Structure 1
């Protein structure tokens, strides 16, 4: 009996159609998953062409995901009965793969400005074009992609579907019932059905269709302000994750406090589990949506920028209202004057220089969660001033050209822009 070992990252993506084909054929396999951050560097040099997935069959190493899938499709009887039928199936697969390549070109674009432009084109033209065409093909073939029957083209699309939705930043089946039918038919197929029920939870879960796996539930708990929670809302919106925005007034806080980790908010709840602290949550979401840097130094730089932003927020809050009563009116005014004329300008000047040096962003000229975090709190300072009756013309960030431009760019990012347009109006 042939022994199979599939080696790929701990995600669905290009490995999942192969896992599904092996499962459909009842071919036992070892599912060898590589942790990209920890282990890929040492594995890469051992891989043919320096890439995964690879499939080992009794010592024979196969690579290229489409070539592997075609081999398995023939082995398990999901190819055509003649060259013309093979063509019909291959044609569908190649169209799906073209769509994947278009999405990947935007998703993995390193330059933030270019990435934004590519996503605009994706959303306005590419995604609707491909999904309408693919949905029409599925409609013509009674919920399949070729020959009006179950073939490996259906398996290929279903295996990639969560990954395609992740890169598209939307559920690709939401408005396309025939594509959903393809997935429903595939995940109900013996062998594949059992695999889907037992497979590990993948990292790409943001847009999973209900037919393949239940979508995670997200809730954000905070006061009826933007303030410290807005970065979390921004990042969830950037990732296309629907979330319940649970807000409460200050007089309602006592009944919520005992249920929150450490008795503090903001809190992000994921599938019933609650997680606290703005920086920790943003760091997690940044990793999830590829906004956390491409190496350890970049991660350190992002964390550093975010923590200094966090420090400034804490100082501003303490001066404006936390210690207001204990300081007395005269001393409170002195501290406010110092905050306005020394502390805030000091921090913002450093931020301004950092962003200027890094081509318009906090780290290496590309969008990271530190940029999203800064933009989310950029109008919070004026909110704090309003609370204590300080009137200023314009936003304090408007005095810093690079920070203003950064804020404006983040506000125009797909997902974040939509959230800003619909979010509740609050004082800060």
Structure 2
């Protein structure tokens, strides 16, 4: 019998969407368990480390979004053709994470004026720096991040950058032609396109 998957996360895309992308691209059915902030207080003490997302497979639970993504990517053959490509996938995801963490910190800054200042700095400085290099990487790899073919890094990248754009209130991908084409390619994968068309509408 095929494994039974359950993903528990808040009712947003956030750090759960890349996991959803991988599962949908792999054609795997799973329970998309979305919880509210009101529910979280009750659920949190029952989780492994008080964090979400949580992936449950046949009753076994694990947390940490990137670890979950890597596990699923290995399981569904999305890590590239060899260990070096698997490493390059990790590097791409971790490096994008450096930028995305800045975006999240800015978005949730309680000081409205400071929030705007931080977001402006990211849009003006950090985003062009990171995305310029990623744009070159995609061009070099024939429209993909790694190895000239689809890997979990592509799915992670598009799902995460969509969240970053929403949090910043700016399409930071638009001015990078290769990344824009890359995003369009991922979003037009049949399984991803079908998911995006039906997924719940959330702010980020």
Alignment root-mean-square deviation, CA: 1.5
Partner of 1:316: 103
Distance 1:277 1:256 in 2: 16
Displacement of 1:257 after TM fit? 1.4
Q: Residues of 2 paired with 1:412 and 1:331: CA distance?
A: 37
Structure 1 residues 341, 415: CA separation in 2 closer, same or farther (over 3 Å shift)?
Answer: same
Taking the aligned partners of 1:341 and 1:261, their CA distance within structure 2 comes to 39
TM-score by length of 2: 0.93
Question: Counterparts of 2:28 and 2:185 in 1: how far apart (Å)?
Answer: 21
Equivalent residue, structure 2, for 1:270: 57
2:193 alignment partner, SS class? helix
Provide, for residues 231-252 of structure 1, a one-character-per-residue CA deviation record: whole Å limited to 9, x for no partner: 1111111111111101122232
CA deviation map 1:189-223 (0-9, x unaligned):
xxxxxxxxxxxxxxxxxxxxxxxxx2321111111
Q: 2:3 aligns with which of 216, 221, 225?
A: 216
Contact kept? 2:123, 2:172, Cα under 8 Å: no
Q: 1:290 aligns with which of 67, 72, 77?
A: 77
User: Which one has the largest radius of gyration?
Assistant: 1
- For residues 122 and 175 of structure 2, what CA distance do their matches in structure 1 show? 16
* 1:415 corresponds to 2:191: yes
Q: Secondary structure at the match of 1:374?
A: helix
Task: Say which SS state the counterpart of residue 262 (structure 1) adopts.
Answer: coil
Q: In structure 1, which of residues 371, 377, 396 is the aligned counterpart of residue 154 of structure 2?
A: 371
Contact 1:220 1:268 in 2 (8 A): yes
SS at match of 1:263: coil
Establish whether residue 349 from structure 1 lines up as the match of residue 132 from structure 2. Answer: yes
> How has the CA–CA distance of structure 1 residues 251 and 361 changed in structure 2, closer, same or farther, with 3 Å as cutoff?
same
Structure with the bigger RCO (C-alpha within 8 Å, sep 6+) is 2
Number of residue equivalences: 204
**Residue pair 1:378, 1:407 contacting (<8 A) in 2 also:** no
CA contact 2:14–2:160 (8 Å) conserved in 1:
yes
Gaps of 5+ in 1: 1-213
4+ residue segments displaced more than 6 Å: none
CA contact (8 A) 2:80 2:147 kept: no
Distance 1:237 1:331 in 2: 38
Per-residue deviation, residues 147-181 of structure 1 (Å, max 9, x unmatched): xxxxxxxxxxxxxxxxxxxxxxxxxxxxxxxxxxx
1:255 aligns with 2:42: yes
| Aligned-partner Cα distance in 2 for 1:349–1:331 | 26
Alpha-carbon distance, 1:334 to partner: 2.7
Q: Deviations over 1:91-112 (max 9, x none)?
A: xxxxxxxxxxxxxxxxxxxxxx
- 1:47-96 per-residue CA deviation (whole Å, 9 max, x = no partner) reads xxxxxxxxxxxxxxxxxxxxxxxxxxxxxxxxxxxxxxxxxxxxxxxxxx
Contact kept in structure 1, 2:48 and 2:61, CA below 8 Å: yes
Deviation of residue 267 (structure 1)?
Answer: 1.1
CA–CA distance in structure 1, aligned partners of residues 202 and 115 of structure 2: 25
Q: Which residue of 2 aligns with 1:227?
A: 14
Where structure 2 has 5 or more consecutive residues not aligned to the other structure, the ranges are: none
Match of 2:87 in 1: 300
